[in-house]
A and B are shown apart, each in its own frame.
Chain A
């Protein structure tokens, strides 16, 4: 069903998953007013792998949160397939996240009191048609660590649990916010490998935020943000594998 996505550059033939137009987001924190997004246009196609690059404060996380239904824009519109996320209420956004989105965060955000298996079960119990926690953890190579608590896992393993938790429901999009930000290179590579494998094998449209330009080689497209604007969009003619990356 995601056949067209196999073609790295073939997105015009496939349907856009997200279309965002004129996104603006303003935070008011006490006396400070922060303009995180200043009119961003963005689209993501089925099966596509996008890397969002930019320095901290460029608005990457804000964009990702809006796409994932964790936040709403101050103005502009985001449409996910036939859902208008801009107009959605709290309940609709919850439903949207539950059915369509998988999140991976920089700091894993695992529930410390639940084992790896149980952390994944949090999702599989919630969303019908999910894979089993064991399968999801198998996909990220954690089958031997099912019953370990987060505190008993290394950083890379924790992040892989987070990825398993995100993909267990077979989401339509996988949104990763600095998934390797807290990891060393070797572990980071294992985590990125898991993400690219999910993108490739399940055809899940994936957005990865990073400030590490080296990772850009994995993407179909690289979107650069700075100061709340999209400054460039590049298409990679050849997609690299994790092993081919130059760190």
Chain B
């Protein structure tokens, strides 16, 4: 027993010593609380850190509010943009995508060349120079290169990369490594994760860049800062009007700028996870706290009676026991806050790999800490309350008497099955208190459920990969042209070395509008019977696109508030820039991004064009991929090549890196829950039944036999809980996926049988371990002491 300083009130001494007595159980509960709080703190502190970092970075780098791309406009148009009410500052640039030939890499990469002002720093979207120096405007080959790309290739100041500009190989010399608020998350349009090796951004002198793309005295990219109180939709509308004659591709606000949009989605997801996952854990903690305390209070029945007889008021006694819960929860929360801060700072490093900020530091905010402590205490009070309320309510004279022996029943099946006595005891005990058995089953089931959810991420991602890379895009390479080309371009592609099968692609940049809702994206024209690029639903069904009208992602339909039968206004953002009303035929529940599809022939008719194509899907002869790579690198019309193999590998690597850690902790925490619940149930059964079990030992039962009675019960509970947990896990998974889904991706919850087996195994092992621990106590049962004491 622990000695305590004098000033500790007597009841609190009792509290601390009682807790010490049940330290195993208390620790198990605290661990579950800690797991929940750890997750809460990890996710939310990361959310807060990223959010704050983003805000500061956007601010110091003067990240623009509105972005627009266009074909080409003369420099004078800039004045008209500046004249738009609400526009505070305008920066015009030349931006061009080129194919890169990186030394030591066979496959082609995409380089984005961005012009820098002739003198001084950019007025908007300023760069952060990580290493090296700024470019010398008089040296046209000097560039600043994006950090991620440099890292992936080990490039630094002094290294050179070849860019294919208009069919000519041109060497770019890296003089500095830079970061931009526009490319915090540097992905190519249409991809999910940054491809560090195959996508690089290069900032260079405008004077050097413009002539190569026929942009002298003109620009093809605008960034704008808006004044306070400016109406963003109004500005965008006016910008579009000004830029329309110059091939404007539709202005977008900051939150729809590719990097900004991804970051926004990622943050929303982080915040969502920060609430849902801990909620599950804390829910479980409430639950087992309630169970543990209810049973502990049963054992304290006579003590409660004594306290009442001494004149302690119900509220004092209730508060005393609620404090049990609070102390346990507080310990768990403190542990969790420390764990969360540690894990959070580790996780931020992970974000640092994909999100590039000049500095991304980890901030553990007091808000998050206080909120988690408060949350844990609330949960504990809730869990304790009903247990305490019930125990304290018993009239003192009743509490003084031992509980009446429970009423058991003999069931017919026991006789017909001729079960041995020990098995009968197990069954009757389970059946006698169906509520309690159910509660234990539920507790263990939660562990199964958490594992289901945690481990199934692998299955979910595998399903996505399968859908995306096996069912939807079956080509090995996707070549996109810098500008739409006539049907004759098909021949060029068809005759590239290594090209086997071939499917022309037509994508058209458009702005879709329905009432005040609008989105800027591309319509993909699919062949009548596509064999490579297909429209596949989330369930994995390949759909045929109807002969006329649009097919939209369900998510896009929701954003625009349209459905089958409605009409959307399509403003074509290239060529003749028609504005057309096109009916929506179908909404499709798909997995990635915001998509709009149309039959290719219908799209051609709509645009009044012949067999124009903007790219091609190709399958490759595996023996000739190298030849294909070198050919595509020198094709002047090609703006970019996406390679399935590379994308897939990049995707898997990213998932591996990000998910492994998460899965590890999920398994750890689920193990904690399983162990906590089973250990608690076992300990409580042991303390309630030690008298009975000791009596059996006195009658000559062996240790093994009495262990069977106690642990057999737990084994039955564990087995029953497995399917229950599977069902709960499935429901939770659906719930989490629903929260997970956003404009970037929508996942379906699936669990493979291997995952299921793993989840069951973890729980069984955790249950067995806690069973063993209790078994050790059972072996040490002091027969004489137990029998002498009052039951």
Q: Which residues of A are at the interface with B, using a C-beta cutoff of 8 A?
A: 29-30, 62, 65, 68, 70-71, 90-91, 94-95, 97-99, 101, 103, 105, 107, 109-114, 118, 121-123, 125-127, 149, 165
Contacts and interface: CB of A to CB of B under 8 A. Distances in A.
A132 B251 CA distance: 84
A99 B311 contact: yes
B421 interface: no
B397 A70 contact: yes
Given A118-B10, A121-B10, A122-B10, A113 B313 contact: no
B311 A98 contact: yes
Contacts of A126: 310-312
Nearest to B19: A113
Nearest to B407: A30
A125 B10 CA distance: 8
A163 B305 CA distance: 16
A70 B313 CA distance: 12
A101 B314 CA distance: 17
Contact of A109 (B9, B10, B306): B306
Contacts of B396: 65, 70-71
Contacts of A97: 308-311
B120 interface: no
B435 interface: no
Contacts of B18: 113
Given A105-B306, A125-B9, 11 more contacts: A68-B309, A70-B400, A94-B312, A105-B400, A107-B302, A109-B305, A109-B400, A111-B307, A113-B21, A118-B14, A149-B1
Contact of B311 (A29, A94, A107): A94
Interface string B274-302: 00000000000000000000000000001
Contacts of B313: 91, 94
B11 interface: yes
Tell me which of A114, A121, A125 has the highest count of chain B C-beta atoms within 10 A of its own C-beta.
Answer: A114
B305 to A, nearest CB: 7
Contacts of B308: 70, 94, 97
14 contacts: A70-B305, A70-B395, A71-B397, A94-B314, A95-B311, A97-B310, A98-B312, A101-B309, A110-B306, A111-B303, A113-B1, A122-B11, A126-B310, A149-B1
Contacts of B303: 109, 111-112
A103 B310 contact: yes
Contacts of B302: 107, 109
What 9 pairs across the A-B complex have the smallest Cβ distances?
A98-B311, A71-B397, A113-B17, A109-B306, A97-B311, A70-B396, A65-B397, A70-B397, A121-B10
Contacts of A90: 314
A121 B400 CA distance: 21
B17 A114 contact: yes
Given A70-B395, A111-B303, A113-B17, A103 B309 contact: yes
Interface string B1-18: 100000001110110011
A70 B305 CA distance: 9
Contacts of B11: 122
A122 B397 CA distance: 20
A153 to B, nearest CB: 13
A91 B311 CA distance: 10
Nearest to A114: B14
B495 interface: no
B790 interface: yes
B310 A65 contact: no
Interface string B42-68: 000000000000000000000000000
B404 interface: yes
Contact of A70 (B17, B21, B309): B309
Contacts of A111: 14, 303, 306-307
Contacts of A105: 306, 309, 400
Contacts of B400: 65, 70, 105, 109
Tell me which of B305, B310, B312, B407 has the highest count of chain A C-beta atoms within 10 A of its own C-beta.
Answer: B310
A29 B400 CA distance: 15
A90 B397 CA distance: 13
A149 B404 CA distance: 29
Interface of B: 1, 9-11, 13-14, 17-18, 21, 302-303, 305-314, 395-397, 400, 404, 407, 790
A70 B302 CA distance: 13
Given A107-B302, A114-B14, A29 B310 contact: no
A58 to B, nearest CB: 16
A209 to B, nearest CB: 13
A118 B307 CA distance: 13
Contacts of A94: 308, 311-314
A118 B309 contact: no
Contact of B13 (A30, A107, A118): A118
A208 to B, nearest CB: 16
A127 to B, nearest CB: 7
Contacts of A114: 10, 13-14, 17
A126 B313 CA distance: 10
A126 B308 CA distance: 12
A118 to B, nearest CB: 5
Contacts of B310: 97-98, 103, 122-123, 126, 165
Nearest to B313: A94
Contacts of A123: 310-311
A95 B308 CA distance: 10
Nearest to A123: B310
Nearest to B20: A113
A165 B308 CA distance: 13
Contacts of B1: 113, 149
A157 to B, nearest CB: 15
A103 to B, nearest CB: 4
A121 B7 CA distance: 12
A22 to B, nearest CB: 19
A127 B9 CA distance: 14
Nearest to A175: B309
B300 to A, nearest CB: 9
Contacts of A122: 10-11, 307, 310, 312
A109 B407 CA distance: 26
Given A97-B310, A122-B11, A71 B305 contact: no
A213 B13 CA distance: 41
A123 B307 CA distance: 9
A104 B116 CA distance: 92
Tell me which of B10, B305, B311, B314 has the highest count of chain A C-beta atoms within 10 A of its own C-beta.
Answer: B311
A76 to B, nearest CB: 16
Nearest to A147: B3
A210 to B, nearest CB: 17
Contacts of B395: 70-71
A174 B9 CA distance: 25
A125 B17 CA distance: 18
Nearest to A71: B397
B790 A107 contact: yes
A94 to B, nearest CB: 5
A49 B107 CA distance: 105
B312 to A, nearest CB: 7
Contacts of A113: 1, 13-14, 17-18, 21
Nearest to B398: A71
Contacts of A149: 1
A105 B313 CA distance: 19
A67 B303 CA distance: 20
